[in-house]
Chain A
Amino acid sequence: MLIKYLFAKNEDIPAGSSSVFFGFSAIFWFVVGTGLGSFNAAKLAFPDWVTGTEMFAFGHMRQVHVLAVILGWISMAFAMTMMYMTPALGNTKLWSEKLGLWNAFLWNVGLSLGLFLLWMGITSGREYSDIIWPIDIVVMLGVLLPLGINVWMTIAHRRTQGIYITNWFFGACTFFILVVFAVGQSPELFNLTGLTEAYMTFWFAHNVLGLWITPVAAAIAYYTIPKLTGNPLYSHRIGHLHFWSIVAFYSTPASHHLMSAPLPEWLKSFASVEGVLILIPAVAFVANILLTMKGKWSLFVENIETKFSVTGVLLAIPLNMQGGFQQTRAINWYIHGTGWIVAHAHLALLGMSTFLEIAAVYFGLQQILRRKLYSLALANFHYWFVLIGFCIYWISMTIAGLIQGAGKIYEVPYIDVVVAEHPYMIARWVGGTMVFTGNLVWLYNMYMTAREGTVVPAGRYAHEMAYER
């Protein structure tokens, strides 16, 4: 469908095409990623379920799940929102739809290739940087750089005086991710070894969250919530406090991921203090959005996009409270390396940022396609399955992590910890499977929206119209 525009003239490509390409790719990768997550979780609960085949071994699939979700779903949904929000906020058109389409195309090709090789065991053996360096170069030059160029040029060619906070985030974060990715892959490119490699791996893992996933997800909410409620953002100035404190405080605490490794002590202490300061942008963001909702809280119940968006913001509260304090030495020694961290990571990616993105993808696709959402019932099904599935996952893994932490400090034989965790492993699989089911329904719902959704008349928003199903 959209492939035909790859070789069209830029003027002939309908506005929003790249956004649609990115949007459907993102949902597709979300289904793939959560499907793999559910499969992997089943293997942790029932180790003899599918066994003895290299291709279906846990160790070959775990990293495919992680990267399909981070690079496929989360990052492609970010690109999708950038492709329609950046021009809308600059009162202009996307700098190049054609570049956007090629970007989405290369992204899918590069990611498929990288994940296929990972699945085969062709890996660099570095967590979150598992993809081998030749494909890393493709990602840098074929994926991240074109995305950045499109965003920066659209902002530079804007027809407004100021820059709205969302675009501040978009412009800066596309630059950050390029730098962070290049630095993070440098151990492979330049054969840096030892603690340098270990530290750089987690410098990347930390900053990909801190300078890409969390801030861009928050930036999306700065657009969707005012748009859906009709309220102006409570305070643009608090938005800037959020922005600048992210740059200052979130880019520094990388070594709090390695609190028990023999890194320099000054570095760990510095990281720990900076890690608590992350609460400043966190509180600024949550307060700003919730105050924007003033007088429109009924939409939290009535409007599906607002429901997703506000849920994501509410999930940011426990996320940041955990994140700010669990990395201090006083708490980290107990929960380091346990299921607690797994639960926290899913709270960030499957909780906060995924909910904010789902809202933006629902909203954006309806706007660009000029179609009303096919079915509200299916969308509500999606909401509740993802939310309940996530909560089951999060709560069960938190409990499992506390059991593990207790087992660790009281020196319980490890196998007893495995036995004690078994029920929570089953719960984790049930939760993950619910999320996967919800996403399958979402993919169907969005596909039917594109095909059969009621046409939205010019000058109207999709969320202003009544549902027919």
Chain B
Amino acid sequence: MSFQQHKLGAAAVGGMLGLSMTITLMFPSFDFRSAESTWVGLDKSISNGRVIGFSYEDPTVVGANKPITVILDKDPKTGEKIDPPMRAYVYEPGVPFAAAIRHPANTGPTVSQLSLNVGKMAEASEAQGAVFGIGRGEVNGKDWDYIQNLTALKGWTPTDTLRAASEENTRYVGKGKTVYITEGCWWCHTLLPEQTQDWQVFGAPPMLGDFNGEMPTAFGSDRKAPDILHVASRNSSREWMNMHFFNPRLVQPNSIMPRFDYLWGETDVHGNKIDFDKWRAEYKEYRDGVRVYPPEIPEYAGNSEARALVDWILTSLK
């Protein structure tokens, strides 16, 4: 037993795996670190919050403690008109900041410097809450999008900002993306138009900086349904989305998408109990040709998962 081949073997195996990890993990990390975030990347990161999915702020994955995206057409403080309307991301007190805000390096070397120096991003406090926006600035003759701390720059508070936006312009984007993840939409839909012919139907493929600070990216790997990265550019009808989620066969008879009527919850917007059995019975009559029109779908409540999901689609998937 003088020659212990397992000792030599262990060293060789460890060395080879180490070399492989150097090439496949360490080298790409230099590329990823130097990627500058685009507007899309900043928008996704700040509207999604710190993490989507299981986390200490949202352990049951229902979309708790997420920022709210609002579309403002007037200044929350002065009441002046804003034209064209702008997006603001409201972090109420205690809501954890997005990775792009907590760890500025995530947004790339130039963008993070702009966000810190011009956007005053570091002055925001999670305990007091803050409102963020995306600004545009010039460095070395080139335009860059960066994160603005609107609480520090303009004195907008979370409460005022939420009040200034109408119900229809308040978008539960972070919660909606959470529903996308928990309901497993991404097992069939992808968020990645491919760089081949595919993009002529599904829109432009994403750019290098479109993902900075996003977690999880949830590209999807198995496309059993259309790519939806730009679906809101093709179809922005909230009514169509509602019907399609309640029962996809209402608007597309050959669809194999599951029904997501359970995302409506127990009660509708008026607080009345939703009678799913009655709806199903009437839908069956419609399918059998007894009824001419399908039954009306209930209006979802403002805090339902269905609303958040449609908010996310119409806001983020442009």
Contact = CB atoms under 8 A, between A and B. Distances in A.
A257 B32 CA distance: 17
Contact of B54 (A43, A122, A258, A267): A122
A52 B5 CA distance: 59
Given A48-B249, A197-B216, A337-B223, A57 B32 contact: no
B259 A52 contact: yes
A298 to B, nearest CB: 36
Nearest to A126: B216
Contacts of B60: 122
B285 to A, nearest CB: 15
B31 to A, nearest CB: 4
Interface stretch (A5-13, A27-35, A59-67, A101-109): A59-67
Nearest to B7: A156
B100 to A, nearest CB: 8
B61 to A, nearest CB: 5
A161 B196 CA distance: 55
A156 B216 contact: no
A419 interface: yes
A458 interface: no
A183 B188 CA distance: 27
Q: List 9 A-B pairs, minimum CB-CB distance, nearest first.
A: A59-B184, A121-B182, A260-B194, A125-B181, A125-B53, A194-B211, A132-B54, A251-B20, A125-B216
Given A125-B53, A198-B217, A260 B205 contact: yes
A399 B10 CA distance: 44
B268 interface: no
Interface string B192-203: 101111101100
Given A252-B24, A271-B24, 7 more contacts: A51-B259, A62-B187, A125-B216, A127-B221, A254-B24, A255-B24, A419-B254
A337 B190 contact: yes
Size bin of chain B's contact surface: 35 or more
B276 interface: yes
- State the majority secondary structure of interface residues on A: helix
B278 interface: no
A123 B182 contact: yes
A247 interface: yes
A413 to B, nearest CB: 8
Contact of A168 (B9, B16, B196): B9
B255 interface: yes
A244 B187 CA distance: 35
Contacts of A121: 61, 182-183
B262 interface: yes
Given A121-B183, A126-B216, A414 B249 contact: no
Given A63-B184, A125-B216, A270 B23 contact: yes
B25 interface: yes
Contacts of A419: 254
Contact of A191 (B1, B99, B257): B99
B142 interface: no
Interface string A280-306: 000000000000000000000000000
A125 B280 CA distance: 31
A341 B28 contact: no
B127 interface: no
Contacts of A44: 224, 256
A60 B255 CA distance: 19
A47 interface: yes
B32 A196 contact: yes
Size bin of chain A's contact surface: 35 or more
Interface stretch (B44-52, B72-80, B85-93, B289-297): B44-52
Interface stretch (A14-22, A169-177, A320-328, A461-469): A169-177
Nearest to A175: B13
Contacts of A459: none
A3 B262 CA distance: 41
Interface in B220-279: 220-226, 248-249, 252, 254-262, 276
A45 B217 CA distance: 28
A60 B29 CA distance: 33
A57 B184 CA distance: 9
B211 A198 contact: yes
A258 B208 CA distance: 13
Given A62-B187, A203-B25, A247-B16, A411 B181 contact: no
A183 to B, nearest CB: 7
Contacts of B53: 123-126, 132
A179 B183 contact: no
Interface in A55-91: 57-60, 62-63
Interface string A244-273: 100110011011011011111001001100
B13 A195 contact: no
10 contacts: A44-B224, A168-B9, A175-B14, A176-B17, A198-B219, A336-B194, A341-B222, A409-B197, A415-B252, A418-B225
A323 B196 CA distance: 21
Interface string A155-187: 110000111000010011001100100010001
B218 A194 contact: no
Contacts of A264: 28, 31
A59 B223 contact: no
Nearest to B208: A262
Contacts of B208: 195, 262
A9 B32 CA distance: 52
Given A123-B61, A414-B225, A248 B20 contact: yes
B213 A193 contact: yes
B200 A411 contact: yes
Contacts of B23: 252, 270
B54 A62 contact: no
B207 interface: yes
A121 B221 CA distance: 19
Nearest to B180: A125
A187 B257 CA distance: 31
B212 interface: yes
Nearest to B248: A47
B158 interface: no
B290 to A, nearest CB: 17
B256 A195 contact: no
Interface in B86-115: 99, 103, 106
Contact of B16 (A52, A248, A414): A248
